[in-house]
Amino acid sequence: MSNAPRLRFLKGHGTENDFVIVPDLDGRLELSAAAVARICDRRAGVGGDGLIRVVRSSAHPEARGMAAEAEWFMDYRNSDGSIAEMCGNGVRVFARYLQRAGLAEEGDLTIATRAGLRHIHIAKAAPEGAPDSGAVTVGMGKAVLPEPGPDGDVTVEVGDRTWSARNINMGNPHAVAFVDDLDQAGNLFTAPAVHPASAYPDGTNVEFVVDRGPQHVAMRVHERGSGETRSCGTGACAVMVAAARRDGADPAVTGRPVTYTVDVPGGRLVISEQPDGTVEMTGPAVIVAEGELDPVWLDAVLD
């Protein structure tokens, strides 16, 4: 007989960036990096680009300082079990779970993350649509761009090709490279080389970008700790900011918001930057399944 607790989970995705969602509202569950990696394993576990633990901010030591402004904390882990500061698609799916569970309603709410507070708007679903058909908009904070210099001027290398890239932080680090063809990125399950290493002491996500039309780009991404994924929300925001700067469309200079459409392998995101620097991302968030982990298997995973 297993002594493991019965662990409920859900599965969701945002533009096919998929996650295992574990409700742990009172913060009683301890999941090691190895356990997260096993659960996210696509052959031997549930499978996912990452794991989202849903915890009350007041019950998590990293979030208690934000509890007065946000009831819920997104404890996000990459699929290898490593801790991540933020996940843009993940926070939309997190909000969708809260709505589904009756813990949030359509409209505005605030979620605590390791990158700080994120302000969310859950749009009203179309009457004829499924419950998950309403888009979710996330205030992603402001992009941080290093000053020109050793850590601001970075390059990305794949095989014998090298591109200059833009170092942009959206609560987590990104290197954005504009290329002629997305196939030039090669096999992104292997992390591209990024130089200098000092620019990213904790590693980085790498985005490869091509133009599709006016204020319309497409991207592929290698996510730190996960490999190539079908989408990356913070990466799409970093790509939008990099494209706007390249195109001379800085809202802080023009005083006008700028919006780009960003196509990812798993769908489409709409990213806007406001004159005050705030970046907003709008896209779908879908819950596709829920269930319970087998106690015997879970006992072995947690051992």
Q: The whole model's pTM is what?
A: 0.90
Could you list the residue range(s) of the whole structural domain that residue 289 is in?
7-135+285-302
What percent of the chain has a predicted confidence (pLDDT) above 70? 94
- Domain match, 259 and 290 both: no
Tell me, yes or no, whether 58 lies in a domain.
Answer: yes
- Domain match, 114 and 216 both: no
Q: Is residue 187 part of an annotated ligand binding site?
A: no
For residue 148, what pLDDT is reported? 65
- The whole-number average pLDDT for the span 119-127 is 81
| Terminal-to-terminal C-alpha distance of the chain | 15
Tell me, yes or no, whether 59 lies in a domain.
Answer: yes
Which of these, 82, 21, 87, 88, lies nearest to 48 by C-alpha position?
Answer: 21
Q: Is residue 92 part of an annotated ligand binding site?
A: no
- Domain match, 80 and 195 both: no
Bridge partners (DSSP) of residue 278 are 142
- Domain match, 224 and 271 both: yes
Q: At how many degrees (to 10) do helices 88-100 and 233-246 cross?
A: 130
The residues annotated as belonging to the active site are 87, 232
Q: Is residue 159 part of an annotated ligand binding site?
A: no
Whole-number Å distance between alpha carbons of 179 and 163:
8
> Amino acid identity of 44?
A
User: Which residue reads 């499924």 in tokens?
Assistant: 130
Q: Is residue 223 part of an annotated ligand binding site?
A: yes
- Domain match, 116 and 226 both: no
Burial 87-105 (b: 16+ CB within 10 A, else e): bbbbbbbbbbbbbbeebbe
Tell me, yes or no, whether 52 lies in a domain.
Answer: yes
Tell me, yes or no, whether 141 lies in a domain.
Answer: no
Cβ pair 96, 143 in contact under 8 A: no
| pLDDT tens profile 127-176 | 554 544 579 999 999 999 987 666 667 999 999 999 999 999 999 999 99
For residue 206, CA distances in Å to 23, 30, 33, 57, 194 come to: 30, 30, 23, 30, 8
- Domain match, 11 and 111 both: yes
Using the predicted structure, report yes or no on whether residue 257 has a pLDDT greater than 90: yes
For residue 149, what pLDDT is reported? 61
For residue 300, what pLDDT is reported? 87
| pLDDT tens profile 47-103 | 999 999 999 999 999 999 999 999 999 999 999 999 999 999 999 999 999 999 999
Contacts for 234 with CB less than 8 Å, ≥ 6 apart:
86, 87, 88, 140, 170, 171, 172, 174, 205
Which of these, 248, 264, 267, 246, lies nearest to 256 by C-alpha position?
Answer: 248
- Domain match, 172 and 208 both: yes
H and E: helices and strands count for the chain: 5, 18
For residue 125, what pLDDT is reported? 66
Q: Is residue 167 part of an annotated ligand binding site?
A: no
Higher pLDDT, 280 or 2: 280
- Domain match, 88 and 121 both: yes
Tell me, yes or no, whether 140 lies in a domain.
Answer: no
- The whole-number average pLDDT for the span 105-116 is 96
Q: Is residue 6 part of an annotated ligand binding site?
A: no
- Domain match, 200 and 102 both: no
Whole-number Å distance between alpha carbons of 63 and 155:
35
Bridge partners (DSSP) of residue 205 are 174
Q: What is the CATH number of the domain that holds 75?
A: 3.10.310.10
For residue 262, what pLDDT is reported? 98
Can you say how many angstroms the Cα of residue 123 is from the centroid of all Cα atoms in its chain? 19
- Domain match, 73 and 175 both: no
Domains in the chain, number: 2
Backbone angles phi, psi at 82, to 5 degrees: -70, 150
- Domain match, 129 and 40 both: yes
In 88-215, which ranges are E strands?
A: 107-113, 116-122, 136-142, 153-158, 161-169, 173-178, 193-195, 205-213
Tell me, yes or no, whether 98 lies in a domain.
Answer: yes
- The whole-number average pLDDT for the span 218-222 is 97
- Domain match, 97 and 170 both: no
- Give the three-class secondary structure for 167: strand
Tell me, yes or no, whether 2 lies in a domain.
Answer: no
Tell me, yes or no, whether 148 lies in a domain.
Answer: no
